[in-house]
Structure 1
């Protein structure tokens, strides 16, 4: 079974996906981390973010892998080309770089191939921006998770404080989220949108546990 969770940046997709995977005994695939890893590699290699051909080459030639702790379905480490980038991909610099990188069709094509190979191997919770519309259009459960701009910014700031990386300036984070929303929803390749058959969940005024329980209930109904 595939549970697809899409939504804008800062909506809580990663937190919810990991919790749902743990509760159901599924594996979890963080597709956003894959795009972040490509962005990190591109910046490390000095590739211009407007050089679509070079960015596509980075995505095609650098293998992305996840590190797991035995018995834990949630990946705890991220690697690209053998280099660990778990913390390096969560900086404000990568926040700004990932949208233009992920808008490149050849980058998306390369990573979608990897995502399908991984997801088709078992029961997965997969989160991103085009999972239900493009990567796994046949997913048994599709959710579009969102929240208000202000709530998403507050969550991202708290998250950055907790992990010690990324901006903790609320106004800067809010502006970055809105900029990413515009870029992600207006790109030509697999734009951010809810699948026609997705369940819309607005988490602004709901506890995260309520959202997790709702998605688990959807999975139970789909079995």
Structure 2
């Protein structure tokens, strides 16, 4: 079974996906991390974000790996060509670059192929922005998770402060979130949009545990 969780930046997809996967006994795949890996590699190589051919090359050639501890649901580390980039792909610089990278058709085609190959290997909770619409349109459970701009910015600031990575300036984070939403929604390739058959959940009004319970209930209906 595939549980697809889509939504904008800062909606809580990563945390919720891990908790849902843990409760269901599924594995968890963070597709956004894969686009961040391409953005990181592009920065390392000095590739201009407008150079679509080079970004496509990186997406095809980069070896992206998720390192799991035995029996773990979520990845302990993310590697690009053997280099641990778990922290490096979560910086403010990558936050700002990843929308441009993910808008490139060649990048999306390369990574979607990888994502489908991974998902074919078992039961997964997959999070991203086009999982239910493009990557796994046949997913048994589809969720579009969102929250208000201010709530998403507050959560991202708290997350950045806890990790010690990324901006902790509320106004800066809020502006970045609004700008990224606009780019993700306007891109020609796989824009950020809820699938027609997705359950819409606004996490502004619900606790994390309530959101997890609602998604698990949707999965339980399908499994039964």
Pick the TM interval, shorter chain: over 0.9
Q: Aligned residue for 1:42?
A: 42
Q: Where do residues 66-215 of structure 1 align in structure 2 (5 Å cutoff)? A: 66-215=66-215
Deviations 1:97-126 (A, max 9, x none): 000000000000000000000011000000
Distance 2:181 2:220 in 1: 31
User: In the TM superposition, what is the alpha-carbon distance from 1:81 to its structure 2 partner?
Assistant: 1.2
Distance 1:208 1:53 in 2: 40
Distance 1:64 1:163 in 2: 22
With normalisation by structure 2, the TM-score equals 0.99
User: In the TM superposition, what is the alpha-carbon distance from 1:12 to its structure 2 partner?
Assistant: 0.3
User: In the TM superposition, what is the alpha-carbon distance from 1:69 to its structure 2 partner?
Assistant: 1.0
Counterpart of 1:134 in 2: which secondary structure?
helix
In the alignment, structure 1 residue 64 sits paired with structure 2 residue 64: yes
Moved over 2 A (4+): none
Distance 2:182 2:81 in 1: 30
Distance 1:81 1:182 in 2: 31
User: In the TM superposition, what is the alpha-carbon distance from 1:23 to its structure 2 partner?
Assistant: 0.8
Distance 1:122 1:76 in 2: 19
Shifted more, 63-72 versus 108-117: the winner is 63-72
Counterpart of 2:8 in 1: which secondary structure?
coil
Counterpart of 1:58 in 2: which secondary structure?
helix
User: In the TM superposition, what is the alpha-carbon distance from 1:11 to its structure 2 partner?
Assistant: 0.2
Distance 1:13 1:174 in 2: 17
Counterpart of 1:28 in 2: which secondary structure?
strand
Q: Aligned residue for 2:53?
A: 53
In the alignment, structure 1 residue 24 sits paired with structure 2 residue 27: no
- The answer for unaligned runs of 5 or more in structure 2 is none
In the alignment, structure 1 residue 15 sits paired with structure 2 residue 15: yes
User: In the TM superposition, what is the alpha-carbon distance from 1:63 to its structure 2 partner?
Assistant: 1.3
User: In the TM superposition, what is the alpha-carbon distance from 1:70 to its structure 2 partner?
Assistant: 1.0
CA RMSD after TM alignment: 0.4
Distance 1:124 1:112 in 2: 15
With normalisation by structure 1, the TM-score equals 0.99
Distance 2:49 2:142 in 1: 31
How many aligned residue pairs are there? 223
